[in-house]
Amino acid sequence: MGSQDLKKQARLKRKKRVRKRLTGTSERPRLTVFRSAKHIYAQVVDDTSGHTLVAASSLEPATKEQPQFESKVAVANYVGKLLGGRAIEKGLTKVVFDRNGFLYHGRVKAVSEGAREAGLVF
Write out pLDDT tens, residues 51-100: 999 999 999 999 999 999 999 999 999 999 999 999 999 999 999 999 99
Cα distance between residue 108 and residue 85, in whole Å? 18
Give the type of residue at 2: G
DSSP code at position 58 = T
Matching CATH number, 3-118, of 3.30.70.100, 1.10.10.10, 3.30.420.100, 3.40.50.10490:
3.30.420.100
In this prediction, residue 107 has a pLDDT band, given cuts at 50, 70 and 90, of: very high
Phi, psi dihedral angles at 38 (to 5 degrees): -105, -35
Percent of the chain residues past pLDDT 90, beyond the cut: 94
Structure confidence by residue, pLDDT tens digits, 23-44: 999 899 999 999 999 999 999 9
pLDDT value for 2: 84
- Span 17-21, average pLDDT: 93
Alpha helices in the chain (DSSP H): 3-19, 61-64, 72-89, 107-118
Give the type of residue at 106: G
For residue 119, pLDDT beyond 90: yes
Using left for φ > 0, alpha for ψ between -120 and 50, and beta otherwise, residue 8 falls in: alpha
This model's pTM is above 0.85: yes
Cα distance between residue 32 and residue 100, in whole Å? 6
